[in-house]
Amino acid sequence: MKPLLELLQDNRADEIVRKNNTERSDKDLKYLSYRIKKDIAIMIYAAKSGHPGGSIGLSDIYSVLFFSILNASDWDLKNNNRNRVLISNGHVSPVRYAAMARAGIIPLEELLQFRHLGSRLQGHPSTVYLPEVENSSGSLGQGLSNAGGLALSLRLQNNNAKIFLGMSDGELQEGMSWEAAMAVSHHKIDNLFPFVDRNDIQIDGRTSTVMDLKDLRAKFLSFGWDVIQGRGNDIASIQESFRKSLDNPRKPVIILFHTVLGSEVSFMENNPKWHGVAPSEADLEKILSEIDQKIGQI
């Protein structure tokens, strides 16, 4: 196997990133998604620790968010008008870090320091080490409160910045999430754009077995939200879902993205085992080979 740093090099990805958002096609975004999948596998392999399944399953969503919706100015921490991305399910930090590296926010080679002692790239993101992640996360269920409070404070300052929030379905078993959902609805916070990774898998198995979430759409509707449902591993559906949420008139809206854990990695797809197991060298080689084959088809 090639040296890991060499495996991260990708001229085609660099060329796509140099384009403007409006110039990137769905094929470009799909390529970046595949590149992010590879980066995730490499960095978790290097760390011998991490959560590959959920991270890889979110790669399409983060490709669209980082390279179609957000702009370079959104990463300037001195710009108080910047749009912000928060992450509630902090264990999928590899997808966030990989997208940040591809966007040029952090050095690409730093991905190989993931989860190392003293690294800025902690297993759960921390603003102490990396302010660009916007919020520290660890215990599940806190993200909607964090993001809701931030969105409300910006609105009170007449700041039009948008707050995007990644959440997991498992954390919706937490009461704090529903208190936050009630508060966001009550205050009619409309500059907050959360999305849920609805893959039905958490650390102890399937959400339907651990604690069945039932009809999430009906629940959010009953709390006064609008709900958009999208296919979270389909670039066009993701684009359309975000467009609809951003066009929503003065009412809280959430996207339920139906995803597959470990999407497009044959032995990882929809397998709870891969919630939090690092790939071996043989696993990594198979992941890279399978993704390269798929890249050849776009």
Give the position of tokens 């140099």.
Answer: 18
Tokens in use for 103? Answer: 């966007």
**pTM score, whole prediction:** 0.97
pLDDT tens digits, 74-122: 999 999 999 999 999 999 999 999 999 999 999 999 999 999 999 999 9
Q: How confident is the model at residue 62 (pLDDT cuts 50, 70, 90)?
A: very high
Per-residue pLDDT tens over the stretch 45-58: 999 999 999 999 99
What's the Cα-to-Cα distance from 182 to each of 30, 176, 223, rounded to whole Å?
Answer: 36, 10, 6
User: 281: Cβ–Cβ under 8 A, 6 or more apart, which residues?
Assistant: 1, 45
Angstrom distances, CA of residue 9 to CA of 116, 198, 250, 269, 297: 21, 31, 43, 26, 20
What is d(CA 65, CA 70) in angstroms, rounded to the nearest whole number?
A: 6
Write the DSSP symbol of residue 150. H
**Tens-digit pLDDT profile for residues 140-159:** 999 999 999 999 999 999 99
Q: Which domain holds residue 269?
A: 4-295
Query: What are the residues facing 84 on neighbouring strands?
Result: 163
- Number of compact structural domains in the chain: 1
147: number of Cβ within 10 Å? 28
CA distance 169 to 260: 12
Structure tokens at 90: 């902090």
Residue 251 predicted with pLDDT over 90:
no
In the chain, beta strands by DSSP E: 84-87, 163-168, 192-198, 201-202, 205-206, 226-231, 253-258
CATH code of residue 50: 3.40.50.970
Which amino acid is present at 246?
A: L
